[in-house]
Amino acid sequence: MTSLPLLTLMMVVPVLGAVVVAALPNGSVRLARPVALGASLVTLVLAVLAWVAFDSGSTAMFQLTETHAWIPQFGVSYALGVDGIALALIVMAAILVPVCLLAAWNDVPEAEAGRLKRYFALMLVLEAFMVGVFAATDVFLFYVFFEAMLIPVYFLIGLYGGPQRQYAAVKFLLFSLAGGLVMLVSVIAVYFAGPGGQDGFLVENLIGGMDGSTAALRWMFVGFFIAFAVKAPMWPVHTWLPDAATESRPATAVLLVGVLDKVGTYGMIRFCLQLFPEASQWATPVVITLAVISVIYGALLAIGQTDMMRLIAFTSISHFGFIVLGIFAMTSVGGAGSTLYMVNHGFSTAGLFLIAGFLVTRHGSKRIPDYGGWQRVTPVLAGTFLIAGLSSLALPGLSSFVSEFLVLQGTFMRYKVAAVIAALGIVLAALYILLMYQRVMTGPKPSFAEGSAPRDLSSRERWVVAPIIASFVVLGFYPKPVLDIINPAVDKTLQIVGVTDPAAATDASGSSK
């Protein structure tokens, strides 16, 4: 253990970095990018220290805790802490932010000094809020971070996105605000149903301490679930995602889909399951149905897309269906698989969005029919794009295969029909990824005007891609360190819900339960 307030420092450092970047004089604007990258790398070092300090054998619900009175009259505390699930997501975010900053290096020209500084400052502020939302152990504080994240994302889309950026930004904001307002009603109700007092919003005090009728607790569950389903997003409240991801810069799309949307599935574990165990079991048949629909629906729509970025966005709707399926399967294998899936999806989505962004930068078009034969002129770009695609479709040996297999195995233990239907998503994933690759990269060599042939990946772009591909291989062949962190938190959640694995089930590490 460490006495340093690591979680607070992981928020303070990027905020200070954002302030420094925003305050740079226009004559020193070229420093904005290295300062932002440096702040994100310091945050990554702090995240690694948190991982090292975390004791996977501890019986405490949260570690690295910090608790200070904030608004005692309403029982609100500045309370931070992590279990294995939250820590894994924070570390994933801390890795992806510097990768995205490096990928976005040339998104805004230095001649536009003000826009450049705001762009990188907003990304650092977003990182601080992402850490806060995963680390908050006070329900009200979580809600504050949950809503605060909308601000930098709205401006990143609305100021720096594509031709339809304002429409996409407003749509994102309206959907998110609507879900957040529904959750706010449940947050207020939670306080009155909880133990009250100075720490009345602490998650640890609310678990098992909610006093309310069955109907009231179920309505509170519904309020939280709707907000998280919008954020995830799940069918049928998913329609904001394709527009937001398509109109965003690739780096923004990675943080939006790869990290922010995980707040929805993380919230389902932290709040829906742990605060409302009976309501979670009551709602499981409906949630499982929605998850299976999301898996198939997202995959089918991805197959029909001609916009590369929109296709990748729809694949994420399918992937989030798998994650929710594993969460509500209520098995240790499914729970571990869904959490690992959140981490793996973050990296695989980052690979697809960023490499597709490099491609679009070279050709100026997102339309798949405008490409063909690019592996003959940009072989490294094509190879990395293929690896990212194979990871997304869960090729054995790459990271997503492990998590997808665990989700389906855990679901099959309780809901065989749902698992069989969802398994069709694997076949559809192969179609939408391989068809996209075939149309973009294979075929005869394209013709370009003399001297205008696109260049292959630059040194900077290879530094962007390298850690992402490394994550595919490492987590594909050796996911044990992450699962060792995740499994105790998953088991604790199932104990709170009051369910056990079906007979003869095994956990994610292979031992009998």
pLDDT in tens, 350-408: 999 999 999 988 888 888 888 888 888 889 999 999 999 998 888 888 888 899 999 99
What is the pLDDT at residue 260? 85
Scanning the structure block, which residue is given the tokens 């948190």?
Answer: 50
The count of structural domains within the chain is 1
Does residue 22 belong to any structural domain of this protein? no
Please name which of 222, 215, 229, 344 lies closest in space to residue 290, comparing C-alpha atoms: 229
249 close to 156: Cβ distance less than 8 angstroms: yes
Please name which of 377, 310, 354 lies closest in space to residue 98, comparing C-alpha atoms: 354
What is the pLDDT at residue 2? 60
The larger pLDDT score, comparing residue 511 to residue 444, is at 444
Distance between CA atoms of 320 and 331, rounded to whole angstroms? Answer: 18
How many beta carbons lie within 10 A of that of residue 169, not counting itself?
A: 25
Number of residues in the chain? 513
Does residue 266 belong to any structural domain of this protein? no
Of 170-184, 190-204, 469-483, 497-511, the range with the lowest mean pLDDT is 497-511
**Measured between alpha carbons, how far apart are the two ends of the chain, in Å?**
29
Does residue 4 belong to any structural domain of this protein? no
Domain around 419: 276-508
269 close to 85: Cβ distance less than 8 angstroms: yes
Distance between CA atoms of 406 and 336, rounded to whole angstroms? Answer: 7
504 in helix, strand or coil? Answer: coil
User: Which residues sit opposite 391 in a β-bridge?
Assistant: none
What is the pLDDT at residue 504? 56
Does residue 396 belong to any structural domain of this protein? yes
pTM: 0.91
Of 106-120, 295-309, 445-459, 470-484, the range with the lowest mean pLDDT is 445-459
Please name which of 146, 351, 343 lies closest in space to residue 230, comparing C-alpha atoms: 146
Backbone conformation region of residue 442, classed left if phi is above 0, alpha if psi is from -120 to 50, else beta: beta
Determine what percent of the chain is predicted with pLDDT higher than 70. Answer: 96
Backbone φ and ψ of 68, nearest 5°: -140, 140
Torsion on CA atoms 298, 304, 308, 309, rounded to nearest 10:
-30
Does residue 473 belong to any structural domain of this protein? yes
pLDDT confidence bin for 323, thresholds 50/70/90 = very high
Compute CA distances 302 → 78, 165, 294, 296, whole Å: 42, 21, 12, 10
